[in-house]
Amino acid sequence: MSTLRKDGRLQSSVTVTNPYTGLKTRVYVYGYSEKEIAAEKKRIKSEVDDIFLGDILFSEWCKEFIRLKEEENLSAVTTEGYEYDINKYILPKLPKNIKISQIAVYHVKNILRAIEGERTKQLVYTILNGIFNAAKREQLIEKNPCEYILKPKYKAQKAKIFSPDGYQKLMHEIAGTQLQYLYTFAWDSGMRRGEISALRWCDFDPIHSTITMENAAKRTKKRGEYIDKPKSKDSVRKLKLSASAVTNLLHWKERLAERLLDAGIAWDDNGFIFRSEKYPERKMPNSTISNTFRKLRIRLNLPEGTRFHSFRPTNATILAEHDINPKKIQIWLGHSSAAFSLDRYVHATQTMQAGISEALEDAKTIYTNMN
């Protein structure tokens, strides 16, 4: 029911929901008749998106941005990473109640200046650019402030590869342990840490010498470690293993069966291939794989930058040294392009130069003897 104001107009209100924050807001309407009041209420309800356009807080839009990314089926690892970086690097550098429409170029510059690492700086820029582009698509803002700032430069460094001496030193140190079989398999397959961690015995076919990779172990702060689909469709693959790789897994299977029997744990073909030392019925966690290798690297004085992931580029480099077709290397590693495999994983070695000088010498003979 409307109330009469001193100026002769009628006053009423309508409650609308901000479509960007979910918060309910009372909007007052005025008119000289109940008909005008009803028409104004109808207009407000029909134009609720425009009423709140640009009025959304930046912090609220960040939450909406994460929700939109989840709808795009981005992995939980990625979306939680976005949330972490937003809360650590972006929101603390902005006024608490600043609206997205108030964010200017200097705000973005201040955020980036406060970040030390170039890799993190580039990542935060990418997140901010995505946040503002999404806001433009929703017509919350007209311009993206990131468009006026050069993207920070960062080029990922290749992981170190093993030298023969380093590899031998490592394998000597872990001889007779589960790590011997794990590291040998990593060397043989070039698979990612999370892929190896998620493997089950049912994925291994010793008759046909294959291992099938359909899942990967991932970790987020909210969910802890869990098994999920791999990072891309290219990561799903079946590898043809060498005879020695098959033998390595079969030997480990025998050792594991004895260990489980001693612990009173029944064998299960759906069980994980590599197990937790403390809880052998469970898989070996990703963190254990990384932390154990890091301690070994320090103890054995292996080169800085050598990590468990180094098995993967070492594997790729060996394949390239033996003139394996780049497309085959791409498929073997589970990458989306051969160019990425060669650029990020294959290291230049002296072996790769074998035959080059001879080929040039042969060509010189042909060119110089032409009449």
CATH of the domain at 90: 1.10.150.130
Does 143 reside within a domain? Answer: yes
pLDDT, tens digit only, all 371 positions of the chain: 688 877 788 888 888 776 655 667 677 778 888 888 888 888 877 766 655 555 688 998 999 899 888 888 788 888 889 999 999 999 999 998 899 989 999 999 999 999 998 999 999 999 999 999 999 888 888 899 999 999 998 877 777 899 999 999 999 999 999 999 999 999 999 999 999 999 999 999 999 999 999 988 887 777 778 788 887 888 889 999 999 999 999 999 999 999 999 999 999 999 999 999 999 999 999 999 999 999 999 999 999 889 999 999 999 998 988 888 889 999 999 888 887 777 777 777 767 667 666 676 676 566 666 55
Are the CB atoms for 286 and 296 separated by under 8 Å? no
- Model pLDDT, residue 367: 62
- Model pLDDT, residue 169: 96
- Model pLDDT, residue 150: 93
The backbone torsions φ and ψ at residue 254, rounded to the nearest 5 degrees and listed phi first, read -65, -45
Q: Which of 19, 24, 26, 21 has the alpha carbon at shortest distance from 47?
A: 19
* Residue-number span of the structural domain to which 261 is assigned: 164-351
Q: Is 304 in the same domain as 201?
A: yes
Are the CB atoms for 109 and 150 separated by under 8 Å? no
- Model pLDDT, residue 216: 86
Does 359 reside within a domain? Answer: no
Q: Is 130 in the same domain as 218?
A: no
Q: Is 311 in the same domain as 284?
A: yes
- Model pLDDT, residue 228: 81
Q: Is 328 in the same domain as 248?
A: yes
Burial, 92: exposed, middle or buried (Cβ in 10 Å; 0-12, 13-18, 19+)?
A: exposed
Does 155 reside within a domain? Answer: no
CATH of the domain at 326: 1.10.443.10
Does 371 reside within a domain? Answer: no
- pLDDT by residue (tens digit) across 90-134? 999 999 889 998 999 999 999 999 999 899 999 999 999 999 999
Whole-model pTM: value is 0.71
Does 300 reside within a domain? Answer: yes
Does 366 reside within a domain? Answer: no
Rounded Cα distance between 347 and 232, Å, is 24
Q: Is 272 in the same domain as 240?
A: yes
Q: Is 198 in the same domain as 345?
A: yes
Does 357 reside within a domain? Answer: no
- Model pLDDT, residue 218: 81
Picking from 101, 120, 148, the residue at the C-terminal end of a domain is 148
Does 118 reside within a domain? Answer: yes
Domain total in the chain: 3
Rounded Cα distance between 68 and 225, Å, is 24
Q: Is 46 in the same domain as 62?
A: no
Q: Is 69 in the same domain as 27?
A: no
Q: Is 294 in the same domain as 309?
A: yes
Q: Is 245 in the same domain as 136?
A: no
Q: How many Å separate Cα 161 from the centre of its chain?
A: 22
CA angle 245, 211, 281 (to 5 degrees): 90
Q: Is 96 in the same domain as 40?
A: no
Picking from 103, 124, 148, the residue at the C-terminal end of a domain is 148
Q: Is 307 in the same domain as 176?
A: yes
- Model pLDDT, residue 7: 76
Picking from 101, 124, 148, the residue at the C-terminal end of a domain is 148
